[in-house]
Amino acid sequence: MVKDDTQQAIPPDRIGLILKAACFAADKHRHQRRKDSLKSPYINHPLEVAERIWNTGECHDPAVICAAILHDTVEDTEATFEELEAEFGKTICDLVREVTDDKSLPKARRKELQIEHAAHISPGAKLIKLADKTSNVKDIHQSPPPDWSLTRRKEYLDWTAAVVEQLRGANQAMEEAYFATLAEARLGLKRASEELGS
């Protein structure tokens, strides 16, 4: 058995399930790119979300880690909840369902619902939301979409903050990481705005 840094044995079946989720997500997202200026492979994002939960949040629950890796598969690919449940079971599927937007709704309403629902989702889903928002804010700061104005970037940052405010108490280390990332992104926007005004 492999051991983590606390010397607790990591069961091979847990590693196998996480690797299965990574392969599934990599296949589903294989043709997708992020909106960032570098057009990064999409799979980088769910892997980062899972890594943040594991290392920053110190949550090693395999269901949460798998759901983090899979969190955009139904929302952004042709994958279905039925497929996820068949492959990974009800617990993981339900976690993904909690963090999946209903794409049949207008974008503005979907964003409102994220704020409204954030306080009421499960502890595991809250960790996925926290890590997701942190990853997105980092990307908006470091490599924003080329067609996003400073105003749009600011509005996005403000919206993520509204979502995360509803997640307070989920995980202190992850919340601190989010707010540090947000502060850095806001400072970057302020500097960019000042440069445009000079």
> Residue 178 sits in a domain of what CATH number?
1.10.3210.10
Is residue 194 annotated as a catalytic residue, yes or no?
no
Nearest to 139 by CA among 72, 54, 41: 41
pTM: 0.93
Total domains in the chain come to 1
| Number of C-beta neighbours around residue 52 at 10 A | 25
Q: How far apart are CA 11 and CA 6, in angstroms?
A: 14
Q: How far apart are CA 65 and CA 79, in angstroms?
A: 18
Domain of residue 20, residue span: 2-197
Is residue 76 annotated as a catalytic residue, yes or no?
yes
Per-residue pLDDT of the chain (198 residues; tens, 9 = 90+): 434 444 466 677 789 999 999 999 999 999 999 988 778 999 999 999 999 999 999 999 999 999 999 999 999 999 999 999 999 999 999 999 999 999 999 999 999 999 999 999 999 999 999 999 999 999 999 999 999 999 999 999 999 999 999 999 999 999 999 999 999 999 999 999 888 875
- Fill in the DSSP letter of residue 6: T
- Of the residues 76, 87, 101, 112, which is catalytic? 76
- Of the residues 13, 58, 75, 195, which is catalytic? 75
The sign of the CA dihedral 30, 36, 37, 38 is negative
Do 73 and 29 meet the contact criterion of CB atoms below 8 Å apart? yes
